A and B are shown apart, each in its own frame.
Chain A
Amino acid sequence: MRRSEEPSANGRSNGDDPEIIRAEEELEEEEAAYSPERNRLQEVFLLFAALWRLLRGEDDRGRKVRWMFGLLRPYRGRVAVTAVALVIGTAAGLAPPYLAGKAIDSGIQTKDVAALNLVVAAFVGAAIVYAVATLVQTYTVGWVGTRALQDLRERVFAHIQAMSIGFFTRRSPGVLISRMTNDIEALNQLVSDGVVTLFSATMTLIGVVVILLILNPTLALVTFVTFPLLAIASVIFRIVSTGAYRATRERIAAITAYLQETLSGVRVVRSFGQERRHNDRMTELNDANREANLRTVYLNAAYFPAVELLSAVGTAVILLYGGYEVVNGSLEVGIVVAFVGYLATFFDPIQQLSQLYTTYQQGMAALDKIFDLLDTEPDMTDAPGAVDPGPLRGEISMEGICFSYADDALERQEEGEAVDWALRDVDLHVPAGQTLALVGATGAGKSTFAKLVSRFYDPQRGRVEIDGHNLRGVQQRALRRQLGIVPQEGFLFSGTVRENIAFGRPEATPEEIESAVAAVGATDFISMLPDGFETEVGERGIQLSAGQRQLVAFARALLAEPRILILDEATSNVDVRTEKVIERGLERLLAGRTAIVIAHRLSTIRRAGKIVVLEDGEIAESGTHDELIEAGGAYARLYGAWAESAAA
C-alpha cells in the first residue's frame, strides 16, 4: 500500500490504518447480523416489536424510514398497484383449501353437480386471480424497489463526489464504495423482499388463523397444539445452528483468502520450492471446512425432517379429532379436508417471517450508514457569490499560510496544544509564466503546497490568491478547469486511450488530441497499441505500463490547456527511456504557463525560474539554482550529497 503525505503529516498511527478500520467495520457488521442467538418465533416477535417502535417513532429510524419511503413517492401509482395486488393475491391464495372442502360438503356429499361446478369454477377463478395478482405484484414491486434504489445510488454517488479531498483521506475507500454497492443492495432486499414478505406472510398467517377459527373453533385450537412443539424445535435448532453456520462462513472465507494469497505469491512459492507446505496447509483448511459443514449437515438432518414430522402429527391430530367429530355428526368431512390443506400452508409464513428479522436488521443498518453519509454536508462548497475568475494569467501568491490536515488545528493551538502543521507561515509570490520547483524531503509539505493551489484544501490561516482572487471566493470548478495536474501515479479511468486523453476536454478534435500526444512524445507507443487510440486501457489503466500511463496523463494535462500546471513527482515512477521522452516534451509543456514542479530530477529542478526548499512545512530558502548553491544552505548540501553518490 502506498502512503501519501497526508496520513503521515496527520500523525496517524498503525491503529488508524484504513485496512484495519475496514476489517473492523466488517467484523462489526458480521456480528450485528449473526450474533443474536434467538429462535424463530422470538425473531418474529422481535420483528414486530421493532416495527412497533418504528411506528410510534421511538427511535429516529422512523424519520429515516419515512424518508426512505419518500424515495417511492415518484412511483406512487405503481406502489398502489402493488398494494392492491398483494391484498388480492393473498386473499386468493387462502381460498383453495376452503373451496376444496366446500366441494366435498356442498357438492359431493349432497350430490349436487351444479354446486360442484360452481365451486370448481370458483377454485379455478381463485387460482387465476392468485397467479395474475402474483405476477403483477412481483413485477411492480421489483420495478419500484430497484428504481427507487437506483435513484438513491446515484444520489449517494453525487453526494460523495461533492465531498472535499480531505473527506476522502479520512474515510477508507472500501467503506465509501460499500455505501454505493452493498448497503444499497441490503436496502433493496428490505424494500423489495422484506416489505412484501412482511405483509403477505402476516396476512396469510392471520388469514389462516381466522378462517380456521371461523370454520371450527375447537378443531382450530386442537390444530394449534402442534405450535409449541414447532417452537421448541426451532429454539433448539436456532441456538445450535447460529454458531455452526458462522463457522462454515469463516472456514470457507479462510480457504478463499488462502487461495488468493498463494496465487498472488505464486512466484515466491515457486522460487523457494515450498509447494508441499502450502498443499499441507490447504488440506488442513479444507478439512476444517468439511468439519464445520458436517455439523450443519447433522443439524439440518435433524431439524427439517422434524418439521415434516410435526406437520404429519398435525395432520394425524386433525384427522383423529375431526374424524370423531364427523362421526358424532358435529362436523362435516369437507371441513376436515380443508383443515388438512390449511395446515400445509401454515408453516411457510412462519419460516418466511423468521428469516425476515435478519433482512430487517441488515437493511436498517445499511439505512443508518447511508443516512450518516447523506447527513454529512459537503465541507468545501463554493461560497455564495463565488465568482468565475475568467481566463487566468496564472499569478500565484501566498500570504501567511498556515495549514494542518487536522481540522481543529486552530482550536488546538488556542488551547496551547501542539499542532502538527503541514505548512507554516508560507509567503510566496510566483509571477505568471514562471516555473517553480519545490524541493525537500518527503513530508516537508511539497504536495500540500500544490494541493492548496488547486484548492483541494483551504488553509487555516492566510490566503492563497491567483491573479489577485482569493481562492475562497472563486468557483472551484472554474478554477480547476484551468489547472493541469500530473500526479505521481498516472491514474487512468477504464475506457479508451482517446477518452482518457480527452478527459478534461471531451470536445477536443482528433487533431488536437494528436498534437497533444505528439508534444509529450506518446505518439510512438500509442501507435504500437493493438487498437491505437481506441485501445481499452482497463480498470485504472492496468493494461498499460506505468510509463505509458504517465505519458497519457501528461497528454491529458496538456490537452486541457491549463493556465497553471502542477507536476507532482510526475516522473518518479517511469523508466529511463520514458523519462527522457517526457523531458523532451516538458519544454513544450511548461512554455507560457505557470508551473509548480515537484521533481527529483536535478535537470528539471535546475531549469526552474525559482527553487523553493521546504523543510518541515517552512520555506528554508528560495532562489535560482546558482543563487542557492552560492548561498551554501540546505540545497547546496543536498546537491553535494547527490554529486558525491553519483560519483561513487
Chain B
Amino acid sequence: MGFLRPHRRALWGSLVFAWAAMGMTVLIPWLVGRTVDAIERQDEGALLPLAGAIIAAATLRVGLTVVRRVVAGKVSLAVEFDLRERFYRHLQAQELGFFDGQQTGQLMSRATVDLQSIRFFLGYGLIFITQNLLTVTLATAVMLAMQPELALLALAPAPIVVFAAARYNRASRPALQEVQQRIAELTAEAEENVSGIRIVKAFAREEHQLHRFQRAVARVFDQSIYTTRLSAIFQPLIGFLPQLGTALVLLVGGRQVIDGNLSLGDFTAFYTYLVILAGPLRMLGVALGMGQRAIASGNRLFEILDREPRITSPPRAAPLPPGPGQVEMRGVSLRYETSPATVDGAGDGSVMPEIRENAPALEDIDLDVAGGSTVALVGPSGSGKTSLVALVARLYDPSEGEVLVDGIDVQGVELGSLRSEIAFVADDSFLFSASVAENIAYARPGATRDEVVRAARRTQADGFIGDLPGGYDTVVGERGLTLSGGQRQRVAIARALLADPRILILDDATSSVDATTERAIRDGLEEVMTGRTTFVIAHRLSTVSLADEVIVLDGGRIVDRGTHEELLGRCGFYAEIAEHGLADSVFLQRDLEQREEMARL
C-alpha cells in the first residue's frame, strides 16, 4: 500500500466525494417516498418542490460523482505509472543471470496483467468498497429509522448476496483464466501444426495430429462449460435473492400499510431502496474479489521488486582508468545458477545425478591477454567460449577467482565505465525496432550521420543499407523490416565499432556471412582491431587466422593455447576441430548471401 502515500490527499478527497455522492443516492428514494405520500395526501403543492428536490439531489450527485471519478481515475493512473516505472527500472537494474532463469512471458504478465489488477483495485476497488459499504449502511440506517422490523426483513438476503457474489467472483476468475490458458495451449497446438506441416505430411500423420488438436479443443470446451455452469448457477441466484427481499417488503410492508403502521410513501421508499441496493450489494462482492486478486498480484510483483540486483557498482566506485585493454583471469570458475532449459522432472530418481546440479560453465581459467592483441576462442558448443567473454564485460560474476581489466578487478569499478569500454557482437545480432542509423549509433546516440556511415562502410553494410527502401532511416527489427542474418550481423558489427571500445568481442560474429563478404569485412576488421584487445569466437578458419593466438576450450577448461600452426602440430583436439568444423560452410554456401539479398530487393 506504500505506493498510495504520495496520493493520500487525492485519495481522501475522492473518498469524501464518493461518500457525499452516496448520501445523495440514498436521499433520492426517500424523496420519492415523500412524493408518493404527497400524492396520496392529494397535496398538489408539495409535488413540484419534491420533484425539484429530486432533480437537485441528482444534479448534486452528478457533480460529486464527476469529481470523484476524475480524482480516483487520476490516482489509479498515477499508481499504475509509478509501479510500471519502478518495475521497469528494477528489471533494467537486474543482472543478466536473473533473466536466464525467467521466462519472458512471465515477466511480461507481471508488467501487464498484475499491474493492471493492482491499478483497478487501488483506483476503483477501494472506492467501490467504501462507497458501496456506505450506501448499504446509509440505506440500512434510513430504513431502520423508518420501520425497523421491515428493514431487517428486507435486508435479510443482503449478506447472502454479498457472499454469493464474492464467491462467484473468486471461483469464476481462475476458471476464466484457465479458459484463456487452454486457449493459449490450443493456439500453440495450431501453431505447431502449421509450422510443422511438412513433417506431418512427410510422415502421413494427419489423423494423429487431428486427434491431438481435438484433445486440445475438448479441453477448452470442458473448461468453458465449467465457467458457463458457474455463471448459469450464480447469476440467477444473485439476481433472485434481492427479489426475495422485495417480495417480503411487498407482503409484510403491504400489510403494515393496510394496518396503518406504515405510510404508502415509506413503503415506496423501501421498495425503491431495495431496487437500488441490488447493485451495490453485488458490487461489494465483486470488489472484494478484486481485492483478493490484487493482493495476489501484488505479491507476485513484489517477488521481483524485492529482489536486489546482484551485479552493481560498489558504492563510490571509480571509473575504469585508461589503459591498453589488457585482460587477466585468475583461477576463474563460473557456475550458472539457473539453467532455463532444465526440464521439470524432479522426483524421478532414475536419472543421472550429475546433470541435475549445474555443471560449471568455466573451471579454473587462468588467462592473460595483452592489450591490443587478438585472441581466438575455439571449441565445440557448450565449451564455455561465450561464458568466458561474458565475464570480461561483467555480465556475470565468476563463482570463484577474479577478472581484471588493465590490472583492476572488474568488480571494483563503476559498471557503466567498464561496459562502455567493451563492445559485443553476439551471434544472434539482436537489433532494436528503430532505424538502421539508430541501431548503429546505439552505444553513442550522439554520433553524427557521417560517423554512422563510416562505421557501416567498414563492415560492408553500407551497400545493402543504401538499397533499403529508406536507406539509413529504414526501421528494422521485430516491428520493422526483417534483415537477413548476414545483414543483421554487419549492422551489429558496425554498432560495436562506433562504440569505439577498448575491448572488442566478436561472438561468432561472421557466421552468417558468406565467404566473399567475410573477406571484405575481415579487411575492415583488421584495421579496426589494431589498438584494441579483441576476442573472436569463430567457427571458420579464415576468422581464426586473424588472431595472434588461439585458445582451445573444452568442457569449460582451457585445453591448449598457441598460434594456429603450433596447435595444428601438437593439439589433436584442435586439429580435429579445424579439419571438421572450421572449413565447412564455405564449400557450398559461397553465394548464399548474395542470392538472399537479390531475392529481397
Contacts and interface: CB of A to CB of B under 8 A. Distances in A.
Contact of A641 (B228, B257, B422, B590): B590
B32 A340 contact: yes
Contacts of A477: 204, 206
5 contacts: A116-B250, A131-B237, A146-B224, A176-B190, A327-B42
B417 to A, nearest CB: 9
Nearest to B251: A120
| Residue of B220, B393, B445 with most partner-chain A CB within 10 A | B220
B316 interface: no
Interface string A513-551: 000000000000001111110011011101101010000
Nearest to A275: B92
Interface stretch (B3-11, B158-166, B451-459, B593-601): B593-601
Nearest to A325: B39
Contact of A282 (B70, B88, B345, B442): B88
B108 A485 contact: no
Contact of B587 (A124, A135, A283, A642): A642
6 shortest interchain CB distances as A-B pairs: A297-B73, A312-B58, A142-B228, A8-B599, A273-B419, A301-B69
B169 interface: no
A316 interface: yes
A283 B89 CA distance: 10
B426 A268 contact: yes
A266 interface: yes
B42 to A, nearest CB: 5
Contact of B424 (A272, A491, A576): A272
Interface string A75-108: 0000000000000000000001001100110011
Q: Is the interface of A mostly helix, strand, loop or mixed?
A: helix
Contacts of A100: 246, 250, 271
Contacts of A67: none
A484 B39 CA distance: 91
B22 interface: no
A531 B580 contact: no
Contact of B202 (A158, A454, A577, A645): A454
Contacts of A555: none
Most buried by A among B209, B250, B584: B250
Contact of A3 (B221, B244, B381, B596): B596
A506 interface: yes
Contact of A147 (B35, B221, B426): B221
B111 A96 contact: no
Contacts of A274: 442-443
A221 interface: no
Interface in B205-229: 205-206, 208-210, 212-214, 217-218, 220-221, 224-225, 228-229
B186 A181 contact: yes
Nearest to A598: B588
A177 B69 contact: no
Contact of A305 (B66, B345, B592): B66
Interface in A242-261: 252, 255-257, 259-261
Nearest to B214: A154
Contact of A440 (B57, B422, B478, B588): B588
Nearest to B93: A275
Nearest to A454: B202
Given A308-B65, A333-B39, A441-B592, A323 B47 contact: yes
B351 interface: yes
Interface string A289-330: 110011001101110111011001101110110111011000
A352 B478 CA distance: 39
A157 B190 contact: yes
Given A104-B264, A146-B225, A319-B35, A257 B51 contact: no
B575 to A, nearest CB: 12
A165 B596 contact: no
A190 to B, nearest CB: 15
B418 to A, nearest CB: 8
Interface stretch (A11-19, A32-40, A355-363, A466-474): A11-19
Interface in B40-86: 40, 42-44, 47-48, 50-52, 54-55, 57-59, 61-62, 65-66, 69-70, 73-74, 77-78, 80-81, 84-85
A327 B41 CA distance: 8
Contacts of A560: 203
Contacts of A456: 198, 201
A286 B85 contact: yes
Contacts of A109: 264
Contacts of A277: 445
A150 B218 contact: yes
A13 B62 CA distance: 58
Contacts of B577: 576
B380 A480 contact: no
A298 B183 contact: no
Contacts of A323: 35, 38-39, 44, 47, 51
Given A340-B272, A477-B204, A487-B199, 6 more contacts: A154-B214, A185-B183, A273-B419, A282-B84, A324-B47, A491-B198
B581 interface: yes
A123 B250 contact: yes
Interface string B392-413: 0101000000000000000000
A312 B55 contact: yes
A271 B225 contact: no
B76 to A, nearest CB: 8
A509 interface: no
A616 to B, nearest CB: 11
A456 B199 CA distance: 11
B352 interface: yes
A327 B36 CA distance: 11
Contacts of B419: 270-273
Contact of A441 (B54, B541, B588): B588
Contacts of B355: 528, 530
